[in-house]
């Protein structure tokens, strides 16, 4: 398919463990975003990559959160020492001029 893909679709982890979430954007899209959506809430911006520019990390909630984008394509969101409040659906999106396209999300549950 030609859409944004994310893996894993579901992740259950124990408090204090590190997790990595992966995003494959649509080929050719230079912009990539990470958002999270807590249960029953709207979307919260986390981080934005645009081409080779320095990422906009202004939405990351703490220094336990980091993200990389290798080769201008695949991105990995890493959460270190996970806490229960990190439980949410993590959505990745990439965009062309007209619209953002979202991936299916990774549902993270921290026990």
The residue (of 17 and 100) whose beta carbon lies closer to other proteins is: 100
**Closest separation between CB of residue 45 and other proteins, Å?**
6
The residue (of 14 and 58) whose beta carbon lies closer to other proteins is: 58
The residue (of 31 and 74) whose beta carbon lies closer to other proteins is: 31
**Closest separation between CB of residue 81 and other proteins, Å?**
27
The SS3 assignment for 70 reads helix
The residue (of 48 and 65) whose beta carbon lies closer to other proteins is: 48
Quote the strand ranges of 1-111, DSSP E: 5-7, 10-13, 19-24, 31-37, 43-50, 65-69, 75-79, 88-95, 100-102, 106-110
Quote the tokens at residue 94. Answer: 């990439």
Separation CA 32–CA 73 (nearest Å): 8
The DSSP output letter for 56 is: B
**Closest separation between CB of residue 71 and other proteins, Å?**
20
Strands 75-79 and 19-24: antiparallel
**Closest separation between CB of residue 2 and other proteins, Å?**
14
Binding site for other proteins (CB under 8 A): 31, 33, 41-43, 45, 48, 50, 56, 58, 91, 93, 98-105
């Amino acid at each position: 398919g030609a859409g944004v893909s994310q893996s894993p679709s579901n992740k259950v982890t124990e408090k204090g463990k590190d997790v990595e979430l992966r995003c494959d954007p649509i080929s050719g899209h230079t912009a990539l975003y990470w958002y999270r959506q807590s249960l029953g809430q709207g979307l919260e911006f986390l981080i934005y990559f645009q081409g080779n520019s320095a990422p906009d990390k202004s939405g990351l909630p703490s220094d336990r959160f980091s993200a990389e984008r290798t080769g201008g394509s695949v991105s990995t969101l890493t959460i270190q020492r996970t806490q229960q409040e990190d439980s949410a659906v993590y959505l990745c999106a990439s965009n062309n001029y007209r619209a953002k396209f979202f991936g299916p999300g990774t549902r993270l549950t921290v026990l």
